[in-house]
Structure 1
Amino acid sequence: MAFYEVYSHPALIRYKTSVCTKATLFIVIVLCLTYIPPLLVAYRSQGFWVKRSTYEEQPVVRFQYQTLLVAATSTSGDYVAWSTFPNFNNLQGANLRIPSVSVREEDVNQDGKLDRLSFQLQLPLKAQEQVYSVQLLLTFSYQLFRMSTVVMQSLAYVQYSSSVPGSQLFISGDLRLQQKTPLPHRGRYTVYNVSVVDGSSPFASTYNLVNIIGSYQERNLTTVLSVPSPVWTIGRAAGAPFHINAEIRYPVEVISYRPGFWETIKLAWIQYVSVLLIFLWVFSHVQTFVFQNQVLPTVVVPLLKPHNS
């Protein structure tokens, strides 16, 4: 006669002992070896406590319509200059040249955030003047909102020189964010929401590019204009202005930040549990072998159907 299974249920065998026995000591040791070593393994394998993480965000960038331009007109130190700061212009005397400036910001993908700045400048020159180098400073308002709220004033600095006089400088690059330390994961970060150039100052040292860039680079957060291949055009006609054409894009940035408490615990817990499961499986079989074979004496309770107690 053939037999087949009609019903099954798990059974429970209880192994009992008093407090002060070898079996109790064994259980305590097994519990320690089950739960503590996975923590040590996860911690020593690096990355248990995540101290830095990243996310992507396109910043909200607006041109501040603040510009400072210095152009060398000879190899002996002659120059012409102009800025949007009246006090700087008052210091230039005969070196001041008032250019024609055209600015346009565009939202290319229509997502509500500006993507690109088109900047065009025509610098008038005297017939005998030639341009050998250019230093251009532009300021921006730079904001981030996804994690911590960052509001700051930043700049883009362009410098190019040539042994041959030029008629035009063309640049096309990205305004990139640079960080020295991670940002906090929440709150407001407005420590750098001050003007990069103090336009109210009457002192020449305030507008010295060495002082401006030196002070700016001391900050934790800065922007830098990445221009892989500037184009220097030669052959300027007599009486023609010197042209500067710039296309500056505002790309999506990878922002570094310090994770909060719950994010840190979440990532640490995943690592701990993944190792703990292995130890639970191993020591579960060790306990089964020890007590089923009575390696340590215990009182075996008869086979019972499991029930809620």
Structure 2
Amino acid sequence: MSVFEVYKQSLSVKYKASLCSKAFLLYLVIVLLTFFLPFLFCYKSHGLWLKYDKYLEQPEVEFKFEYLLISETSDPLVPLICGIYPEKVITTGFCPMIKVAEEDRNMDGIKDNLNFQLNLMTNETFDINSVTLLLFFNFKIHELCLLEMESMAVITHSSAIPGGKLDLIGDLKLVQKTPLDCSLKNPIRMKNSILQFETSDWLFNIYKDYLKRSIYTKLDNVLFKWTKGRSYQQPFIINVKINYDEVEIVYKPKFWQIIKWAWMQYFSILILTLFIFKKVKRFLFTNHIVNTRIAKLT
């Protein structure tokens, strides 16, 4: 005759022990280890508390139509200088024309690159041996951190062969010395003018003060082509293309982000320890490794 299962009931066995017994002491040790070991493991792996985090953002970059050009010539005593600060710097060069175009390739309302062309005319029969060009931008980020600052890109190149044209392409990159302390209510603003001409060695001081900042921009992945030779009646031409690529922002996380990160790591290891010590308790008590009293059997 066939037999069918018509009802099923699990049996539950309860093991009890007094507070002063070895069984209770063992139980207490297991509970402490179950919840303390995940914390210890996360802490020792240096990953429990999130000290900083980072993300990618497409910055809003806008060329300020401000530049400064310093060109060394065949006469080392006569550099050619032209730019947008004639009242502060004695200009010895003549830049009759600049062309500026910023493009938004993906039509997202954020500019993606800058095309800059400058023509340098000389009144004397000077050869151009080196070029230093400073370009100035308004730089903004706003997704998780609010940052507004005046930034700079420095282009410098020299050659033993007199040149007639310099073509250059590079990426505008963000440099951070410390993580940003982000707040949507208190934006970080760095609006102090980069150009300072109080001393005679003003160019070096501009570099020095700029690099003291905790955050700034620079050109990276730079490729250039130096074209030699030109007639003295022709201008020296500088063509620059700068890409405004995504930048990596490093910032200090807030309290709840730190707690969320810590809890995710702790909980993932806690599940494993709960499973392991459950097996340990079953082995210890069912095999009567320590004395307990079976209080109820259902």
| Same topology, TM > 0.5 | yes
Counterpart check, 1:41 vs 2:63: no
**Contact 1:171–1:227 (8 Å) recurs in 2:** no
**Structure 1 residue 97: deviation in Å?**
2.2
What one-letter code is carried by the residue in structure 2 that aligns with 1:281? F
CA distance in 1, matches of 2:288, 2:73: 97
| Contact 1:148–1:185, Cα closer than 8 Å, also in 2 | yes
1:275 corresponding residue in structure 2: 269
Counterpart selection for 1:138 from 130, 135, 140: 135
From 267, 285, 298, the counterpart of 2:292: 298
Q: Distance in 2 between matches of 1:189 and 1:234?
A: 47
1:97 and 2:115 correspond? no
Structure 2 partner of 1:307:
none
1:71-150 superposed matches below 5 A: 71-89=71-89, 91-92=90-91, 95-150=92-147
State the Cα deviation string for residues 100-134 of structure 1 (Å, max 9, x = none). Answer: 11111111110010001111111111251221111
Report the residue type matching 1:137 in the other structure: L
Residue in 2 that maps onto 1:54: 54
Cα deviations by residue, 1:37-68 (Å, 9 ceiling, x for unpaired): 22111211232222122111000000111111
Q: Is the 8 Å Cα contact of residues 75 and 132 (structure 1) preserved in structure 2?
A: no
Q: C-alpha separation between the residues in 2 aligned to 1:152 and 1:240?
A: 37
Aligned counterparts of 1:277 and 1:231: Cα–Cα separation in 2: 60
Q: Deviations over 1:1-41 (max 9, x none)?
A: 23232332433222223332222222211111211122111
- In the alignment, the residues of structure 2 paired with residue 243 and residue 130 of structure 1 have an alpha-carbon distance, to the nearest angstrom, of 13
CA contact (8 A) 1:68 1:84 kept: yes
Return the letter of the residue paired with 2:235: P
The separation in 1 between residues aligned to 2:255 and 2:289, in whole angstroms, is 45
Contact 1:58 / 1:253 at 8 angstroms: preserved in 2? yes
Rounded Cα–Cα distance in structure 2 between residues aligned with 1:170 and 1:7: 86
Give the match's secondary structure for 1:230. Answer: strand
1:125-155 superposed Cα distances (whole Å, 9 cap, x missing partner): 1251221111110110001111110111100
Which residue in the other structure is 2:163 paired with? 166
Q: What's 2:206 paired with?
A: 212
> Against the structure 1 CA distance between its residues 6 and 237, is the aligned structure 2 distance closer, same or farther, given a 3 Å change threshold?
farther
Would the aligned equivalents of 2:69 and 2:132 in 1 still touch at CA under 8 Å?
A: yes
Of residues 175, 178, 182, the one that matches 2:172 is 175
Q: Give the secondary-structure state (helix, strand or coil) at the position aligned to 1:88.
A: coil
Q: For the Cα contact (< 8 Å) 1:60–1:143, is it kept in 2? A: yes
**Per the alignment, in what secondary structure is the counterpart of residue 172 of structure 1?**
strand
1:286, distance to aligned residue in structure 2 (A) = 2.1
- Cα distance in 1, alignment partners of residues 273 and 208 from structure 2: 56
Structure 2: runs of 5+ lacking an equivalent: none
Alignment partner of 1:231 is 2:232: no
User: Which one of 266, 281, 285 corresponds to residue 287 of structure 1?
Assistant: 281
Partner AA of 1:293 in structure 2: N
- The residue type equivalent to 1:291 in the other structure is F
| Percent of pairs with identical residues | 36
CA distance in 1, matches of 2:286, 2:221: 74
The alpha-carbon deviation at position 191 of structure 1 amounts to 4.4
5+ residue gaps, structure 1, are 305-309
- Kindly provide the amino acid, as one letter, of the partner of residue 43 in structure 1: Y
Question: How far is 1:281 from its partner?
Answer: 1.7
State the Cα deviation string for residues 185-214 of structure 1 (Å, max 9, x = none): 43434242222124xx6x454x82111011
Change (3 A) 1:71 1:227: farther
The CA distance in 2 between the partners of 1:8 and 1:260, in whole Å, is: 52
Question: Do 1:72 and 1:78's aligned partners in 2 also have CA atoms closer than 8 Å?
Answer: yes
What is the DSSP-based 3-state SS (H/G/I as helix, E as strand, rest coil) of the residue aligned with 2:81? Answer: strand
Q: Letter of the 2:188 partner, please give it.
A: T
Between the aligned partners of 2:220 and 2:287, the Cα distance in structure 1 is: 72
Aligned residue in 1 for 2:21 = 21
Q: 1:11–1:276: structure 2 CA closer, same or farther, 3 Å change rule?
A: same
Task: Measure, in 2, the Cα distance between the counterparts of 1:10 and 1:84.
Answer: 88
Where 2:26 maps in the other structure, the secondary structure is: helix
